[in-house]
């Protein structure tokens, strides 16, 4: 099951006019362009370093759309992440980097 693709599609639906590259269109050039032309860029980059623990892919797929919904309303990534995690029963090893200066809704 590939959750990253589903996650990025769900996140993309929360932002009007979002560019949502997936699969073969999710290239380094596409990421560079997105970083240069969009206020918010979500990279659904999932990996496994322990075969018994895939680093909460399902958790990210559930939490990230909620995070972006909160982010659109608050402009506060820390508060948005905290709100998105309310009621989440599994650990969520997620990080958020960035600046929201000039974020358009």
Give residue-wise pLDDT tens across range 75-105. 888 889 999 999 999 888 777 776 556 555 5
- Please give the residue that has the higher pLDDT: either 21 or 44: 21
Average pLDDT score, the chain: 80
What pLDDT was estimated at residue 105?
53
How does residue 29 score in pLDDT terms, banded at 50, 70 and 90? Answer: very high
Query: Are 77 and 98 spatial neighbours (Cβ–Cβ below 8 Å)?
Result: yes
Write the CA distances from 45 to 79, 87, 102, integer angstroms: 22, 23, 25
Say how far apart CA 81 and CA 7 lie, in whole Å: 15
Say how far apart CA 75 and CA 78 lie, in whole Å: 9
């Amino acid at each position: 099951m590939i959750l990253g693709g589903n996650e990025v599609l769900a996140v993309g639906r929360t932002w009007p006019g979002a560019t949502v590259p997936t699969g073969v269109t999710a290239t380094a050039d596409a990421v560079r362009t997105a970083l240069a032309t969009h206020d918010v860029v979500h990279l659904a980059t999932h990996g496994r370093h322990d075969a018994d623990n895939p680093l909460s892919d399902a958790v990210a797929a559930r939490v990230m759309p909620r995070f972006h919904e909160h982010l659109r309303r608050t402009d506060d990534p820390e508060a948005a992440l905290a709100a998105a995690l309310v009621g989440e029963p599994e650990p969520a090893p997620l990080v958020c980097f960035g600046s929201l200066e000039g974020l358009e809704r």
